[in-house]
């Protein structure tokens, strides 16, 4: 009963946070776009369709991040049950650890071919806006929840920390994929702490040297620490080509084509 109540609260909080951030991003992109908007009528149905499929899949599988945290409480299992920490330092350390995990998961998905074939669907979007943050293959989402749940169990992460991280991760992904204009001085200041759209857009460049940099989703420190930070792309942010040299036809934006991309070498 407690688990169901906690999961219900988590779902409500995440839906509210997602809706609020999505509305903000849509308005920001409409009023102050950084680049000429991509072909929304072609791209958005596919991106939003994939997001809907992933949402339904996550609702059906019996594995959740919060469920893993509750399991660790029930069995008093995990690092933070074996080492004494105050509540807030524990929450902060868990968020840092999970964000570092996401950084390395992302980087490994670029390094290992079978994982890259799954992840590259995210990179085949030919434009860059907040819906790109929703465009992940269901296989990648499933692998990610397994990795995240295992890490939460090992950490013994508090439920509050897990819910906070999930909201932060989803919100920051939509933010740093946004086609939004910010003053350059604000971008430079924010980059010392979090990943900004101009920083992450480089990661979506068609140039392999650039899309293998700037892996962070929330905090920018991991790219700086592990040598994967790139300050600026080779071409201007407003005109640099986005996507990959393959799967860049308009027809590839359809949901059925997106789902089959990992199993195809080209659009033929």
Q: Classify residue 237 as exposed, middle or buried by CB count within 10 Å of its CB (0-12, 13-18, 19+).
A: middle
pTM of the entire predicted model: 0.92
DSSP per-residue string spanning 21-34: HHHHHHHHHHHS-S
251/245 Cα distance (integer angstroms): 14
Q: What is the pLDDT along the chain (268 residues), one digit of tens a residue?
A: 555 555 577 778 888 999 999 999 999 999 999 999 988 899 999 999 999 999 999 989 988 999 999 999 888 898 988 888 899 999 999 999 999 999 999 999 999 999 999 999 999 999 999 999 999 999 999 999 999 999 999 999 999 999 999 999 999 999 999 999 999 999 999 999 999 999 999 999 999 999 999 999 999 999 999 999 999 999 999 999 999 999 999 999 999 999 999 999 865 4
Tens of pLDDT, residues 105-163 = 999 999 999 999 999 999 999 999 999 999 999 999 999 999 999 999 999 999 999 99
Query: Is the CB of residue 43 less than 8 Å from the CB of residue 125?
Result: yes
Q: Classify residue 218 as exposed, middle or buried by CB count within 10 Å of its CB (0-12, 13-18, 19+).
A: buried
């Amino acid at each position: 009963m407690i688990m169901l109540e906690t999961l219900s609260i988590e779902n409500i909080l995440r839906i509210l946070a997602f809706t609020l951030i999505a509305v903000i991003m849509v308005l920001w992109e409409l009023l102050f776009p950084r680049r000429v908007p991509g072909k929304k009528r072609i791209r958005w149905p596919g991106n939003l369709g994939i997001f809907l499929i992933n949402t339904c899949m996550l609702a059906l599988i019996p594995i959740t991040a919060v469920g893993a945290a509750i399991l660790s409480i029930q069995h008093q299992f995990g690092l933070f049950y074996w080492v004494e920490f105050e509540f807030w330092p524990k929450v902060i350390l868990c968020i840092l650890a999970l964000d570092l995990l996401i950084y390395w998961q992302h980087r490994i998905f670029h390094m290992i071919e079978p994982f890259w074939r799954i992840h590259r669907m995210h990179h085949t979007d030919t434009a860059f806006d907040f819906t790109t943050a929703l465009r992940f293959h269901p296989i990648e989402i499933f692998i990610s929840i397994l990795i995240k749940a295992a890490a939460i169990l090992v950490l013994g992460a508090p439920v509050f920390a897990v819910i906070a991280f999930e909201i932060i991760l989803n919100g920051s992904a939509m933010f740093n994929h946004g086609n939004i204009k910010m003053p350059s001085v604000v971008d430079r200041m924010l980059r010392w702490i979090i990943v900004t759209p101009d920083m992450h857009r480089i990661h979506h460049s068609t140039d392999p040297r650039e899309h293998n940099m700037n892996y962070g989703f929330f905090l920018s420190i991991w790219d700086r620490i592990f040598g994967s930070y790139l300050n600026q792309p080779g071409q201007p942010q407003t005109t640099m080509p986005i996507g990959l040299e393959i799967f860049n036809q308009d027809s590839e934006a359809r949901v059925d084509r997106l789902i089959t991309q990992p199993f195809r070498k080209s659009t033929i």
